[in-house]
């Protein structure tokens, strides 16, 4: 499986394959038609508490945030992560769609790593 990430504000293309929105909230200013989302996996997004903490964290706390999100994925979101992995298995190309500005320090990076581990991708 080819697992990718893409911002919700970037144009959807045919080679994105199966597009999965991985945010708990719908991206501001993005229409459902232009987003071309095939699945909204909000149950695998960071908890509201973790999301708030990340937005108020001082720069450089990426390691702590990503560790906390990994713990959520392993425990509270475990069943949702397993269900998402099962849903993605038949698709040769999957794009995780997220709204964050930073392409390196965001929850979609951590979620992609967790899915790769679960799917063996």
| Residues written for the chain | 121
> What is the Cα–Cα distance from 52 to 117, expressed in whole angstroms?
27
Q: Where are the domains of the chain?
A: 2-119
**Residue 105 token pair:** 């320090």
Q: What angle do CA 77, 24, 75 make, to 5 degrees?
A: 10
SS3 (DSSP) at 76:
coil
Report how far residue 56's alpha carbon sits from residue 5's, in angstroms, rounded to the nearest whole number. Answer: 24
Give the integer Cα–Cα distance in Å for 88 and 2: 11
- Pick from 102, 99, 28, 110: nearest CA to 59: 102
pLDDT per residue as tens digits for the range 59-98:
678 888 899 999 999 998 789 999 999 999 999 999 999 9
pLDDT tens digits along 13-64: 999 999 999 999 999 999 999 999 999 999 999 999 998 888 777 667 888 8
């Amino acid at each position: 499986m080819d697992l990718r990430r893409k911002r919700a504000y970037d144009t959807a293309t045919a080679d994105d394959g199966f597009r999965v929105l991985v945010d708990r909230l719908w991206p501001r200013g993005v229409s459902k038609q232009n987003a071309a989302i095939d699945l909204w996996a909000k149950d695998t997004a960071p908890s509201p508490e973790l999301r708030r903490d990340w937005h108020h964290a001082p720069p450089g706390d990426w390691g702590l945030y990503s560790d906390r999100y990994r713990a959520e994925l392993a425990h509270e979101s475990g069943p949702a992560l397993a269900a998402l992995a099962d849903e993605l298995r038949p698709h040769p190309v999957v794009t995780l769609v997220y709204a964050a500005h930073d392409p390196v320090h965001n929850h979609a990076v951590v979620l992609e790593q967790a899915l790769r581990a679960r799917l063996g991708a």
